[in-house]
Amino acid sequence: MSIKKDYIRPLDFKNGRVDMNHGAGGRASAQLISELFARAFDNEFLRQGDDGARMPALPTGHELVMATDGHVISPLFFPGGDIGSLAVHGTVNDVAMMGATPLYLSASFILEEGFALADLQRIVHSMAAAARAAGVPVVTGDTKVVEQGKGDGVFISTTGVGAVPAGRRLSGSLAQVGDVILVSGTMGEHGVAVLSKRESLEFETAIESDSAALHTLVAALLAAVPEGAVRTLRDPTRGGLATTLNEIARQSSVGMMLEESAIPILPQVDAACELLGLDPLYMANEGKLIAVVDAAHAEAALAALQAHERGKAAARIGVVTEDPHRFVQMNTAFGGRRVVDWLSGEPLPRIC
Amino acid sequence: MSIKKDYIRPLDFKNGRVDMNHGAGGRASAQLISELFARAFDNEFLRQGDDGARMPALPTGHELVMATDGHVISPLFFPGGDIGSLAVHGTVNDVAMMGATPLYLSASFILEEGFALADLQRIVHSMAAAARAAGVPVVTGDTKVVEQGKGDGVFISTTGVGAVPAGRRLSGSLAQVGDVILVSGTMGEHGVAVLSKRESLEFETAIESDSAALHTLVAALLAAVPEGAVRTLRDPTRGGLATTLNEIARQSSVGMMLEESAIPILPQVDAACELLGLDPLYMANEGKLIAVVDAAHAEAALAALQAHERGKAAARIGVVTEDPHRFVQMNTAFGGRRVVDWLSGEPLPRIC
């Protein structure tokens, strides 16, 4: 039938570009959804094909967790990942940091007119692969298109829903004086990988983003210690380790004392930061966590992290102190002591 | 203390503008969150202050519903609403169309550098008021900032979570031959209000967007008929009534026959559409629903809609037919018959 003909011409994923029709809610929108999104993310919930998705009740004895993250990273493709995989990892990790099992994701795409369908396809496929690897399906989504010059290729906002045992409490507000501060691995790769790609810098040793889902690492950690021993989990993304520790210190009204020599940093990250005039403690991570743990169980927690593929370089980097000023301080490698402040001054934009 | 000083200078909501620091994850981000978002949306879940929010389990015997929508409407302020209230209504309605009670919202903001903080504040306050009026709190959120010329003021992606009784099934795929098609009110106001504001057109009679939350209307409708009598609920947003009915026809493999004279349209919307060369059947709605209902219960359903403040102009506009071509057809006011196709041709961009 002639009136169906523009629908049966398949999308041109080789040379095609996003146009305003793809966001207008008509036939072109439906085609983009069916030929790209529905196919790539395919799962029983998305297949319902309604304005939302319907899933089973949470497991008995569990409460609901919800987290959301907008992703505007530039460039869209970077060593070790792209905005698609990052949009899965970022939100899966936010849910996991609540001590919850991530169950479902939603995705909202804001596309710029003229964006290459080939790039969009590559991003969606990467996102779908990350979701599948994490075992967390994208169950519902939305796509909008803005005019050229009103967006930047693609922005992706993801929301994650998870289930947490009703008795479990993890929060940035629960750190206690005497607790031990652990990190799950080396700091700063994501930020340095993105910035060096943006500046077209090449280093002798390639630096890849650490972008990864951490929910199995969290599960291993929580299984290794009694309930309550892990006070706080946080992934040090924007603003890096320094800023995230300051957030926790503020929330819990405590101070922190770090040992600079104990903070794991890859030599090539250190070198790149020196070249760029940056501090690795402020560089974003997308596959690492900070755990504040009851000192009595810190050894077991550290061992559990180190036994997991994503936590091999886990380390004990400091302790929680009493401090009415809520300062994060650090004994430096040179024997001095300094305050590790929040990120301020020059921002590092669009790192996630 | 000098190192805290930029934090204690409050944000300038009169003359200030969004800068890249507000999205960098450091102190400026924390300040924007605490002085604007946390204050406006304040609720017990958001107050937890972590990377996600933790809420009670769903009511017993209920399943989980999740829906997401990106909002990129231009202009940001329009007669009858703004992007903030729309971002609440749009997602609350998507959850409600599943037959679910909307419980929680998340919000992801993508801000453009240079955007006036006064406008952002106005939008956030409107959004918070809409969430409060709907009784659906914004429990978690995220803010990113992109460079001037890489965004357009503000984009807001909201995700809603709701609870639906385990035995209830509503879907675009459940329309049956013989079912009756109802609409909850007049069609096309939102689209016409936004387009006329964009084109700076003034009409003798003001046309306001119908933007509104529909979950109490849905609850009233579902309570008035036996479980299963309402097959499908959809809000005819982008693409309007015509496109949404085509979606349902395709999902359910049925046809539809509409009566043009029965479709409620305000005279001023008709007049504006004629002036703009547009068809009201393709104009977006943000506070109306389509219900496909078992014919045996159509009268009761219509009465329930009409008895509700948001459904006073509800009407029966057609029936579901057997049609292997899945055409939506219409008996016109002039005694003819035509196919009501999907939206195609000139898109109406950024209407929501």
Contact residues, chain A, for B214 at CB < 8 Å = none
Q: Is residue A347 a part of any domain in this protein?
A: no
Alpha-carbon distances of A328 from A245, A322, B193, rounded to whole Å: 7, 11, 53
A159 and A185 in a common domain = no
Contacts of B132 (CB under 8 A, 6+ apart): none
Residue B3 belongs to a domain = no
Residues A140 and A185 in one domain: no
Q: Has residue B5 got a pLDDT over 50?
A: no
If asked whether residues A275 and A192 sit together in one domain, one would say yes
Interface contact A106-B144, CB threshold 8 A: no
Residue B2 in this model has a pLDDT that exceeds 60: no
Which B positions 30-69 lie with beta carbon below 8 A of chain A? 30, 48-58, 61-69
Match 């499908």 to its residue by tokens.
B232
If asked whether residues B151 and B196 sit together in one domain, one would say: no
A351 domain residue, yes or no? no
Q: Is B142 on the interface with A (CB under 8 A)?
A: yes
Place of tokens 């929508």: B69
- Average of per-residue pLDDT across B167-187: 97
Q: Hunting for tokens 């071509």 — which residue is that?
A: B325
CA distance A75 to A82: 8
Euclidean distance between CA atoms A56 and B271, whole angstroms: 47
Partner-chain contact B110 A107, CB within 8 Å = no
Tokens of B10: 């409050």
Tell which of A165, A194, A215 closes a domain.
Answer: A165
Instruction: Tell me the pLDDT tens digit for each residue of A134-167.
Output: 999 999 999 999 999 999 999 999 999 999 999 9
Give the end of a domain, one of B141, B165, B189.
B165
A128 and A208 housed in the same domain: no
Average pLDDT (A206-235) is 97
Give the other-Cβ count within 10 Å of B197's Cβ: 18
Closest CA to B259 of B174, B340, B176: B340
**Last-in-domain residue among B136, B165, B194:** B165
Same domain, B256 and B288: yes
For position B120, which CATH number holds?
3.30.1330.10
Note the pLDDT tens digit of each residue in A180-191.
Answer: 999 999 999 999
In this predicted complex, what is the ipTM?
Answer: 0.96
The reply to whether B280 falls in a domain is yes
Whether the CB-CB separation of B73 and B81 falls below 8 Å is answered with: no
Statement to judge: residues B238 and B121 lie in one domain: no
pLDDT at B25: 85
CB contact under 8 A, A160 and B251: no
Q: Are residues B226 and B149 in the same domain?
A: no
Is the Cβ pair A64, B161 closer than 8 Å? yes
CA distance A294 to A315: 15
| Same domain, residue pair A19 and A161 | yes
The alpha-helical segments, DSSP class H, found in chain B are 5-8, 27-32, 38-41, 83-96, 117-134, 189-198, 215-224, 240-252, 267-276, 298-306
By the 8 A CB rule, do B104 and B53 touch? yes
Q: Which of B178, B192, B193, B155 is nearest to B70 (CA)?
A: B155
Identify whether residues A148 and A198 lie together within a single domain: no
Place of tokens 């755990």: A291
CA distance A42 to B155: 27
Kind of pairing between the strands at B101-112 and B230-234: unpaired
For range A220-240, the mean pLDDT: 97
Tokens coding B154:
């503000």
- Beta-bridged to residue A65, according to DSSP, are A162, B54
Q: What is the pLDDT of residues B310-344, one digit of tens each?
A: 999 999 999 999 999 999 999 999 999 999 998 77
- Hey, which residues 291-330 in chain B have their CB within 8 Å of chain A? 325
pLDDT for the residue numbered B7: 52
Q: Which of residues 200-259 of A touch B (CB under 8 A)?
A: 234-235, 237-239, 243, 247, 251
In a domain, A248, yes or no: yes
Interface of A with B in 71-90 (CB under 8 A): 71-72
What tokens appear for B161 in the block? 């979570």
Rg (CA), chain A: 22
* List of chain B residues whose C-beta atoms are within 8 Å of the C-beta of residue A343: 24-27
Over residues B264-287, the mean pLDDT reads 94
Contact (CB<8Å) A65/B72: no
Q: Say how many domains are in chain A.
A: 2
- The answer to whether residue B77 sits within a structural domain is yes
Q: Judge if B185 and B333 occupy the same domain.
A: yes
Written as six digits, the tokens of A142 are: 């939305």
| Whole-angstrom Cα Rg for chain B | 22
Token pair listed for B13 = 């909501």
Q: Are residues B185 and B298 in the same domain?
A: yes
Q: Is residue B351 part of a domain?
A: no
Rounded to the nearest angstrom, the minimum Cα separation between A303 and chain B is 25
Has residue A324 got a pLDDT over 90?
yes
Distance of alpha carbon B218 from alpha carbon B231, whole angstroms? 13
B71 within domain boundaries: yes
| Average per-residue pLDDT for chain B | 94
Look at residues A301, A296, A335, A330 and name the one whose alpha carbon lies nearest to residue A316. A301
Question: What CATH number does residue B276 fall under?
Answer: 3.90.650.10
Domain holding B18, by residue range, is: 9-165
Q: Which tokens in the block code for residue B36?
A: 């604007």
pLDDT digits (tens, 9 = 90+) for B95-122: 999 999 999 999 999 999 999 999 999 9
**A15 close to B29: Cβ distance less than 8 angstroms:** no
